[in-house]
Amino acid sequence: MAIASNHAEQTAAHNRYYRATGFTSIKAFFGNYVNFKGRSSRSEYWGPALLIAGVLSVVGTTLIVSLIGSIGDPMNDLNLSQLFHGVAGLLTILLLVVIALPSTALIIRRSRDAGVPWWCYLVILGLNLASFFIPSASLLTDVASLTIVSLTLLLILALKPSRPLPPATLAPATGTTSGRGHPDHPYIQY
């Protein structure tokens, strides 16, 4: 397993996959799907974010192509384009349902690790959902502006370094009460 943290860091982060890299970060994404309490590092965030962006790009492109293809289809009697459109739409909905909870948990954990208030994501998510129920002059401008705000928050989470873990939870104090710590580990008393 490609996890660059020890047991003490994992305990302090409330995440057994803390600092997972590579394919282990994908395993961590689904392994921590209901962990809203812990923290997630940048490396643990980037793997699933890139995978989800790639899969959603392919599925979204397929959906758009099927929509465009069904508009001017001269052989509409065969209904192949409508069938393809229905399958692409069903796959998109299924994918969104599968990744909704783990994505929200990962973003909240990453927010906590980066020092960004986690409720900012919930506000943006609420605004995104509310925008679909508010009538406006142009749906395209509403979606574009909310997408820009959402992507800005996600990029901040992706690029901002992790805050240090609390030193008291990294290693318990042991030894005498001389008050001097070890030079390499000042939080451990010897």
For 1-20, how does the pLDDT look when each residue is reduced to its tens digit (9 = 90+)?
567 778 888 888 888 888 88
Distance CA 32, CA 25 (A): 10
- What is residue 74's predicted lDDT score, i.e. its pLDDT? 55
- What whole-number distance in Å separates Cα of residue 151 and Cα of residue 122? 14
In a domain, 7, yes or no: no
State how far Cα 118 lies from the chain centre: 12
Assess if residue 120 is contained within a domain. Answer: yes
* pLDDT score, position 177: 45
pLDDT at 40 over 50: yes
What is the distance between the terminal CA atoms of the chain, rounded to a whole angstrom? Answer: 33
Which of 95, 110, 98, 114 has the alpha carbon at shortest distance from 36?
110
Per-residue pLDDT tens digits for 90-117: 877 888 888 889 988 998 899 889 888 8
For the stretch 59-94, pLDDT in tens is 777 777 766 665 555 555 555 566 666 777 787 788
The answer to whether position 176 is within a domain reads no
pLDDT cut 70: percent of the chain above it: 66
The total domain count for the chain is: 1
Q: Is residue 178 part of a domain?
A: no
> Does residue 96 fall inside a structural domain?
yes
47 occurs within a structural domain: yes
Q: Which domain holds residue 120?
A: 17-165
Q: Is residue 91 part of a domain?
A: yes
Classify residue 33: in a domain, yes or no.
yes
pLDDT grade, residue 52 (50/70/90)?
confident
Q: Would the pLDDT of 185 be above 70?
A: no
